[in-house]
């Protein structure tokens, strides 16, 4: 049984689209509240044994010009209901397979359950996402900034947090610069 | 360590300046680093001590944070290679390789055979050079300074090879998306053969200094133990993972860059202590040379760059005669290439563990997001587990055995 079928059987509605891109199996989790349960199922089920969490990261899609994957989601959601995407890279050493879980989060106060009870390694990784992207992980034992000073304002990897320089204009990037101008520091 | 047993010392705020204040239960809170020669850079540890015994250690990192991921969003795909060098600055070519492979996956292209073999040779030499710095510092932290001098003498020879290829000794930026910066010079093969001939004897020399050295054994055996389950849950990689008995190496188990064509062993340990990690890394260096030898013997002729001019610039000579080449060159260096919308994650076995790169493209010439999973960053988490209940002096040996590079921890 494929992992997607098993997930659908166990979690039903919570499992969204699955797609394969460049040999990578990507599964969307539609209900962020279920993520810890999904991860713990994938870790413990003897058929899959995704016991190793390789990576945990987040994407801000505020200024993206088009969706990066053919997901069938409404691209307009990229500034609202699906602005942030949290990625989980699971690795099964037994089957030598990776699984990429994706969770979409809204622009307002994004948060989802922590997977630290499932993998200890999520501790630093979630703190990094919290620090740089401003996504809260409920149930994380020690959610505070990790790379930036404690009194830092804002979350630098968000797209509305401008870099400290202005991009040089060429004919090909007028539009993008114009688009990002509203976020520039005054 | 489970989530619920986290010690209250973790919540201690970290104000600027000295924090030598009494902790809970009259424990001494000692701020070790960031300026400490044995923290391998700017790592700061907040140690809670009961006498000389470490009750709890909390790493405080970020002193070297340079915003590499944010910077990458403002650079074209090819330009990002130069910032990847600066993460794990002891293994820049491994970083180049991980990033180049991730973008190649996104583009759906593969580097030409000659480029792949040269990548393997240099990545393995890079592994040896990274391990040599680890070996030297591990020895030095325990008082064996001569090992450091010997190891860096050998590393010098490897840096000469990187300089020969790329012009730079450390920040090589030699692996490009779609191949290499340029082909290796004619002296390359001879220089690498000399390394292959010289190094095994040098490794024997280090082993004579350390493997049966009573002081070294005393300081490393039974120290910093991680069980198999802890190692997997902590997500550690490289020699730490294998030292704890997890038989996992991405080069063998999920091959990339043609690693499946080479015969090599993955050294596996069981005890999971500092000494085991030492043994494994030394054996890994010998295996790396084995791979280099096989790769050098089969080094094919041919181009080192893919012929797609929308991704790789044309050879310099063509610019003088071909208008089209000139246009391609200009477009690539002003605008860059545009991968199709998509996302790719590529993990490689860097000297320290799994170095992962996630690139996200929305069809423009710059990545929307480039995320780097630094093995040092993840491995550092295991420190608290390793040093609990040990002496302060053991903390130094544990840090060295994790082999952290702060450039990669903080990115």
Assess if residue B332 is contained within a domain: no
Assess if residue B326 is contained within a domain: no
Q: How far is A174 from chain B (nearest CA, A)?
A: 12
When pLDDT is averaged across residues B169-186 and rounded to a whole number, the result is: 90
Residues B88 and B215 in one domain: yes
Q: Which residue of chain A has the CA closest to B341?
A: A68
Spatial distance between the Cα atoms of A14 and B58, rounded to a whole number of angstroms: 37
Spatial distance between the Cα atoms of A66 and A57, rounded to a whole number of angstroms: 20
Sign of CA dihedral B127, B133, B134, B135: positive
When pLDDT is averaged across residues B305-328 and rounded to a whole number, the result is: 89
What's the pLDDT score for residue A185?
54
- Domain boundary residue, one of B17, B32, B60: B60
pLDDT at B45 > cutoff 80 = yes
Q: pLDDT higher for A165 or A142?
A: A142
Nearest to B54 by CA among B292, B328, B359, B389: B389
Q: Which residue of chain A has the CA closest to B15?
A: A150
Residues of chain A found within 8 Å of residue B365, distances taken between Cβ atoms: 172
Is B371 part of the contact surface with chain A (CB cutoff 8 Å)?
yes
Query: Within the 145-204 window of chain B, which residues sit less than 8 Å (CB to CB) from chain A?
Result: none
Assess if residue B316 is contained within a domain: no
Inter-chain touch A54–B373, beta carbons under 8 Å: yes
> pLDDT by residue (tens digit) across B269-294?
888 889 999 999 999 999 999 999 99
Residues B346 and B378 in one domain: yes
- Rounded to 5 degrees, what are φ and ψ at B218? -60, -40
pLDDT at B354 > cutoff 50 = yes
Spatial distance between the Cα atoms of B139 and B217, rounded to a whole number of angstroms: 11
pLDDT band with cut points at 50, 70 and 90 for residue B323: very high
Instruction: Give the closest of A65, A96, A170 to B364, CB-based.
Output: A65
Residues B107 and B240 in one domain: yes
Assess if residue B322 is contained within a domain: no
Inter-chain touch B14–A60, beta carbons under 8 Å: no
Tokens of B215: 């002081």
pLDDT at B339 > cutoff 50 = yes
Assess if residue B157 is contained within a domain: yes
Average predicted confidence (pLDDT) for chain B:
87
What's the pLDDT score for residue A64?
82
What's the pLDDT score for residue B209?
87
Residues B283 and B259 in one domain: yes
Spatial distance between the Cα atoms of A124 and A46, rounded to a whole number of angstroms: 27
Q: pLDDT higher for B189 or A185?
A: B189
pLDDT band with cut points at 50, 70 and 90 for residue B17: very low
- Please answer whether residues A43 and A54 qualify as being in contact, where contact means their C-beta atoms are separated by less than 8 angstroms: no
Inter-chain touch A69–B342, beta carbons under 8 Å: yes
First-residue to last-residue Cα distance in chain B: 26
What's the pLDDT score for residue A164?
55
What's the pLDDT score for residue A15?
87
Q: Which residues form the domain of B47?
A: 2-60
When pLDDT is averaged across residues B344-364 and rounded to a whole number, the result is: 92
Low-confidence winner among A54-63, B38-47, B56-65, B259-268 (lowest mean pLDDT): B38-47
Angle, CA B38 vertex, CA B33 and CA B43 arms, to 5°: 40
Assess if residue B333 is contained within a domain: no
Assess if residue B222 is contained within a domain: yes
Residues B151 and B285 in one domain: yes
Residues B83 and B192 in one domain: yes
What's the pLDDT score for residue B185?
93
Spatial distance between the Cα atoms of A114 and A116, rounded to a whole number of angstroms: 6
When pLDDT is averaged across residues B89-108 and rounded to a whole number, the result is: 93
Residues B123 and B18 in one domain: no
Is B230 part of the contact surface with chain A (CB cutoff 8 Å)?
yes
Residues of chain A found within 8 Å of residue B6, distances taken between Cβ atoms: 141-142
Number of residues in chain A: 186
Residues B191 and B277 in one domain: yes
- The domain that holds B147 is classified in CATH as 1.10.645.10
- Domain boundary residue, one of B43, B60, B77: B60
Tokens of A11: 């979690």
Number of residues in chain B: 411
pLDDT at B36 > cutoff 80 = no
pLDDT over 70 for what percent of chain B? 94
Assess if residue B325 is contained within a domain: no
Q: What number of CA atoms fall less than 13 Å from residue B186's CA on the CB side?
A: 0
When pLDDT is averaged across residues B293-303 and rounded to a whole number, the result is: 91
Residues B136 and B277 in one domain: yes
Residues B7 and B75 in one domain: no
Any idea which residue has 């991921």 for tokens? B69
- The conformation of residue B24, written as its DSSP 8-state character, comes to G
What's the pLDDT score for residue A166?
62
SS3 for B341-381 is CEEEEEEEEECCEEEEEEEEECCCCCCCEEEEECHHHHHHC
- Domain boundary residue, one of B18, B42, B60: B60
Residues B125 and B209 in one domain: yes
pLDDT at B200 > cutoff 80 = yes
When pLDDT is averaged across residues B338-365 and rounded to a whole number, the result is: 91
Inter-chain touch B343–A69, beta carbons under 8 Å: yes
What's the pLDDT score for residue B25?
66
> pLDDT by residue (tens digit) across B101-154?
999 999 999 999 999 999 999 999 999 999 999 999 988 888 888 899 999 999
pLDDT band with cut points at 50, 70 and 90 for residue A183: low
DSSP string, B271-329: S-SHHHHHHHHHHHHHHHHHHHHHHHHT---S-SB-S-TTTSPPPGGGGGT-HHHHHHH
Is B232 part of the contact surface with chain A (CB cutoff 8 Å)?
yes
Is B74 part of the contact surface with chain A (CB cutoff 8 Å)?
yes
- How many structural domains comprise chain B? 2
Residues B12 and B151 in one domain: no
What's the pLDDT score for residue B360?
93
When pLDDT is averaged across residues B180-208 and rounded to a whole number, the result is: 91
């Amino acid at each position: 049984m494929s992992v997607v079928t098993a997930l659908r059987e166990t979690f039903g509605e919570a499992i969204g689209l699955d797609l394969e891109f460049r040999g990578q199996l990507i599964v969307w989790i539609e209900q962020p509240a279920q993520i810890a349960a999904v991860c713990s199922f994938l870790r413990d089920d003897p058929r899959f044994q995704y016991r190793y969490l390789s990576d945990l990261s987040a994407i801000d899609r505020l200024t993206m010009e088009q969706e990066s994957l053919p997901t069938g989601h409404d691209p307009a959601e990229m500034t609202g209901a699906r602005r942030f995407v949290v990625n989980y890279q699971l690795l099964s050493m037994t089957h030598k397979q990776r699984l990429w879980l994706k969770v979409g989060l809204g622009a307002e106060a994004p948060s989802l359950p922590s997977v630290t009870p499932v993998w200890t390694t999520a501790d630093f990784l979630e703190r990094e996402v919290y620090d740089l992207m401003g996504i809260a992980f409920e149930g994380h034992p020690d959610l505070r900034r990790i790379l930036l000073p404690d009194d830092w304002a804002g979350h630098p990897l968000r797209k509305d947090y401008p870099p400290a320089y202005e991009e040089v204009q060429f004919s090909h990037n007028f539009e993008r610069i114009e688009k990002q101008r509203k976020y520039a520091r005054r | 360590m489970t989530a619920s047993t986290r010690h209250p010392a973790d919540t201690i705020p970290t104000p600027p300046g000295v924090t030598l204040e009494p902790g809970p239960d009259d424990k001494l809170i000692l701020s070790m680093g960031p300026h400490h020669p044995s923290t391998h850079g700017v790592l700061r540890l907040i140690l809670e001590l009961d006498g000389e015994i470490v009750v709890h250690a909390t790493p405080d990192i970020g002193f070297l944070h340079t915003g590499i991921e944010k910077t990458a969003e403002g650079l074209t795909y090819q330009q990002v290679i130069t910032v990847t060098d600066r993460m794990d600055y002891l293994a820049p070519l491994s970083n180049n390789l991980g990033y180049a492979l991730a973008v190649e996956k996104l583009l759906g292209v593969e580097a030409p055979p000659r480029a792949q073999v040269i990548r393997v040779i240099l990545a393995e030499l890079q592994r040896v050079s990274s391990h040599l710095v680890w070996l030297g510092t591990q020895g030095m932290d325990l008082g064996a300074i001569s090992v450091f001098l010997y190891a860096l003498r050998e590393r010098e020879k490897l840096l000469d090879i990187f300089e020969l290829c790329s012009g730079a000794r450390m920040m090589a930026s030699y692996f490009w998306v779609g191949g290499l910066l340029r082909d290796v010079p004619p002296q390359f093969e001879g220089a690498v053969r000399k390394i292959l001939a010289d190094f095994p004897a040098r490794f024997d020399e280090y082993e004579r200094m350390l493997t049966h050295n009573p002081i070294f054994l005393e300081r490393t055996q039974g120290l910093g133990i991680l069980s198999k389950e802890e190692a997997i849950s902590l997500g550690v990689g490289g020699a730490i993972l294998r030292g704890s008995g997890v038989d996992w190496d991405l080069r063998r188990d999920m091959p990339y860059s043609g690693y499946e064509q080479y015969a090599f062993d993955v050294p596996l340990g069981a005890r999971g202590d500092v000494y085991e990690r030492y043994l494994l890394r030394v054996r890994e260096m010998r295996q790396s040379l084995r791979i280099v030898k096989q790769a050098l013997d089969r080094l094919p002729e041919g181009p080192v760059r893919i012929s797609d001019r929308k991704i790789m610039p044309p050879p310099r000579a063509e610019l003088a005669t071909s208008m089209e080449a000139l246009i391609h060159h200009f477009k690539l260096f002003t605008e860059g290439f545009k991968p199709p919308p998509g996302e790719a994650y590529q993990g490689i076995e860097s000297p320290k563990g799994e170095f992962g790169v996630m690139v996200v493209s929305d069809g423009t010439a710059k990545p929307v997001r480039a995320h780097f999973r630094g093995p040092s960053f993840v491995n550092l988490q295991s420190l608290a587990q390793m040093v609990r209940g040990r002496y302060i002096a053991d903390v130094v040996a544990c840090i060295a055995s994790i082999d952290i590079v702060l450039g990669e921890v903080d990115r």
